[in-house]
Structure 1
Amino acid sequence: MELFPAIDLRGGQVVRLHQGDYGKMTVYSSSPTEVARDFLAQGARNLHVVDLDGAKDGALSNYDSICDILRVGGLSVQVGGGIRDEERIRRYLDLGVDRVILGTAALDRPFLAKMLAKFGSHIAVGVDARDGRMAVRGWLEISDVDSVQFCRDLAGMGVATIIYTDIARDGAMSGTNLELYRQLKQDVSCRIIASGGVSFEREITELTSIGMYGAIIGKALYTGAIDLRRAIGLADAEVCV
């Protein structure tokens, strides 16, 4: 299983939100590039980057920080947050981003189909859910779209990768929603990246055994609850079993 250490950006700083609440934000670093270099030094192969300002208001407030992160090199980077048109998709891909994550924009199915036709597996969809319903616009609004059914529909459209976040678990350090990921693995044919609340080493082992393509780890890395080098070793060892 691939692990994706997370860098969430707000105002050029590395932060974490509690359950997506912009009013409950902890700043962990003023240097995103230093954080990326540290993850790389610990053996990371991938990086999950979110522009929280972009997710909230659609602005490119953290574009320069993302450029700096990409200059670190040696990491496969996926980026999300406020990506709602083709121009921004192209801009990130031209920078060297490997996957662009569509969230709110993916609800526009004709637009999503067009972007899939143009960019294929470089497009991932972020399904962020609270109580089983899709959250949009930086998690500030809850739609009436059933999140699991939406994942089934995405697979039918040819989406290669879904990043599913259970908002209630995100940043809470109470564990991730393993039952949900078991259901998704049974119901959805594309690659699933688990996100939200991964807090314990045993969850890495469990997510790997379920068959998740990847898992995003955020707050647990910043607090020291999970050691990244050890976590990567566990995920890789499980793959070899």
Structure 2
Amino acid sequence: MQIFPAIDLKDKQVVRLTQGDYGKVEVYGQDPAAAARGFAAQGAKYLHVVDLDGAKDGALSNFDAVSAIIAATGMFVEVGGGIRDEARVRAYLEQGAGRVILGTAALRDFAFLQRMVDKYGEKIAVGVDAKDGFVATDGWLNVSRTQGVDFCRRVYEAGVRNVIYTDIARDGAMQGTNLSVYETLAREVPGLGVTASGGISSLSEIRALAAMGTKAAIVGKAVYTGALALPDVLAAAGEE
């Protein structure tokens, strides 16, 4: 299983939110590129980067910081947050991003998602952020009436092969991830590459996710606080 340490950006700083609440921000660094180099030095090969300002307001507020992260290491970097038109997709890919994540845009304009998948293939992933099982948008500020698992099935049928599924209630809470939803996705949408995100706080969860066939997992607050050591997480996931 692949492990993606997370770098969330707000005002060009490395931060973590609790349960997606922009009022509960903890700053963990002033230099995002240095954070990326630190993860690479510990053995990480993949990186998950989110522009939180972009996710909220649709502007590419942290584009320069994301570009610096991509340039800092040879890691595979996936980027999300505020990517709502092709110009932004292309801009990140031209900077060297391995793939870009469509969230709000994927739900609100499925035709746009389809065009991007048809054009860019597996360089397009979808972020499915669920609150009480329903897809949330606009930096998790609004909740739709679309069921998260149903939406995963729909995007897979459209050609999307990688989904980052986050249970918002678990994110940043250090209370464990929602293993049952990943079991459901493995059973109901076989073939979809699922990245587990939100609340992972123990090595046993990493092993459980790997055992059920989850493609990847994102680790955030647990490694920032020292609750988990990244090399231990990589070993538990089976990464060399």
For Structure 1 versus Structure 2, the TM-score category normalised by the shorter chain is over 0.9
The residue aligned with 2:55 is 55
Residue 12 of structure 1 deviates from its aligned partner by 0.5
Provide the identity percentage.
56
Structure 1 gaps of 5+ residues are none
Residue 40 of structure 1 deviates from its aligned partner by 0.2
The 8 Å contact of residues 196 and 214 in structure 2, kept in 1 or not, is answered as: yes
1:127-138 to structure 2, matched below 5 A, reads 127-138=128-139
The residue aligned with 2:68 is 68
1:38-117 to structure 2, matched below 5 A, reads 38-107=38-107, 108-117=109-118
The residue aligned with 1:219 is 221
- Structure 2 Cα separation of the partners of residues 209 and 88 of structure 1: 36
1:1-241 to structure 2, matched below 5 A, reads 1-107=1-107, 108-188=109-189, 189-236=191-238
- Structure 2 Cα separation of the partners of residues 23 and 3 of structure 1: 28
Q: Report SS of the residue matched to 1:142.
A: strand
Q: Report SS of the residue matched to 1:168.
A: coil
The 8 Å contact of residues 174 and 222 in structure 2, kept in 1 or not, is answered as: yes
Moved over 6 A (4+): none
Q: Which AA in structure 1 matches 2:40?
A: L
Q: Which AA in structure 2 matches 1:115?
A: M
- Structure-1-length-normalised TM-score: 0.97
- Structure-2-length-normalised TM-score: 0.98
Q: Which AA in structure 1 matches 2:148?
A: S
- Structure 2 Cα separation of the partners of residues 66 and 220 of structure 1: 22
Q: Which AA in structure 1 matches 2:95?
A: L
- Structure 1 Cα separation of the partners of residues 235 and 173 of structure 2: 24
Residue 230 of structure 1 deviates from its aligned partner by 1.3
Greater mean deviation of Cα atoms: 69-78 or 40-49: 69-78
Residue 233 of structure 1 deviates from its aligned partner by 1.3
Q: Which AA in structure 2 matches 1:103?
A: G
Measured on the aligned residues, the alpha-carbon RMSD in Å equals 0.9
Q: Report SS of the residue matched to 1:74.
A: coil
Residue 60 of structure 1 deviates from its aligned partner by 1.2
1:190-224 per-residue CA deviation (whole Å, 9 max, x = no partner) reads: 10000000110110000000100000000001000
